[in-house]
């Protein structure tokens, strides 16, 4: 069952665990909005070490405003970046 729905505001966990992590550094600690639910997928942080990837994680596409991602973003303030992020990296924003 997906924890978040399209349109929900979410915060990416600001964590730096070792291992094979698919959450880019530049987006950790940033907040965005769920663009869509992509489905459930094996957790790459497990799969990378030969394990079976369970429990599966819901994967989301999250849309971030570029001028909130980068200090001093110099281009169009309406620009966005969409990133695929697994559920265990996301926290709700009130």
Give me the residues that bind another protein (CB under 8 A), please: 22-24, 26, 38-39, 41, 44, 59, 61, 66, 69-70, 73-76, 78-86
Which tokens hold the place of 30?
Answer: 């940033």
Q: How far is the CB of 32 from another protein (least distance, A)?
A: 12
Q: How far is the CB of 1 from another protein (least distance, A)?
A: 19
Q: How far is the CB of 94 from another protein (least distance, A)?
A: 26
Contact of 85 with 48, CB cutoff 8 Å: no
Residue 49 burial class via C-beta count within 10 angstroms: exposed 0-12, middle 13-18, buried 19 and up: exposed
């Amino acid at each position: 069952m997906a924890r978040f729905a399209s349109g929900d505001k979410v915060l990416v966990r600001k964590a730096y665990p070792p291992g094979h992590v698919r959450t880019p550094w530049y987006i950790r600690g940033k907040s965005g909005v769920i663009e869509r639910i992509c489905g459930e997928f094996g957790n790459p942080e497990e799969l990378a070490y030969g394990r079976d990837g369970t429990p599966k994680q819901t994967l989301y596409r999250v849309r971030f405003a570029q001028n909130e991602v980068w200090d001093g973003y110099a281009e169009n303030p309406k620009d966005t970046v969409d990133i695929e992020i697994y559920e265990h990296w996301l926290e709700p924003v009130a």
